[in-house]
Amino acid sequence: NAGVTQTPKFQVLKTGQSMTLQCAQDMNHNSMYWYRQDPGMGLRLIYYSASEGTTDKGEVPNGYNVSRLNKREFSLRLESAAPSQTSVYFCAGGQGETDTQYFGPGTRLTVL
């Protein structure tokens, strides 16, 4: 039982390159989330998926797209990376009446 896993752990991109961050969970969560964490900013929600087949924008969605491939997997895509997207990205899963979310280990992305 790995919980929430993310790949890759680290990535360096050049401005304009694209990439997809992968997230998978084996906790049978209905909801999945993508956050970014920047110094002094806490965690901010990029996109979320309340259930398989649905996605919605969070607080900072610009420059990102997501896909809820199935119940287990939720990917985050940067179509044309910008230096402002340099951050640590966390995926989380959650379900139930409460909003307790369980986080993956994060992906540290640097855009040059």
Partner 1 sequence: DQQVKQNSPSLSVQEGRISILNCDYTNSMFDYFLWYKKYPAEGPTFLISISSIKDKNEDGRFTVFLNKSAKHLSLHIVPSQPGDSAVYFCAASALTGANNLFFGTGTRLTVIP
Distance of CA 77 to the CA centre of its chain: 9
- In 3D space, the residue among 80, 78, 81, 82 whose CA is nearest the CA of residue 67 turns out to be 78
Q: Looking at beta carbons only, is 9 or 14 nearer to partner 1?
A: 9
Q: Looking at beta carbons only, is 18 or 41 nearer to partner 1?
A: 41
Of residues 49-108, those binding partner 1 (CB under 8 A)? 50, 56, 58-59, 90, 92, 94, 97-106
Query: Half-sphere exposure of 11 toward its Cβ, with a 13 Å CA cutoff?
Result: 25
Chain positions contacting partner 1, by CB under 8 A: 4, 31, 33, 35, 40-45, 48, 50, 56, 58-59, 90, 92, 94, 97-106
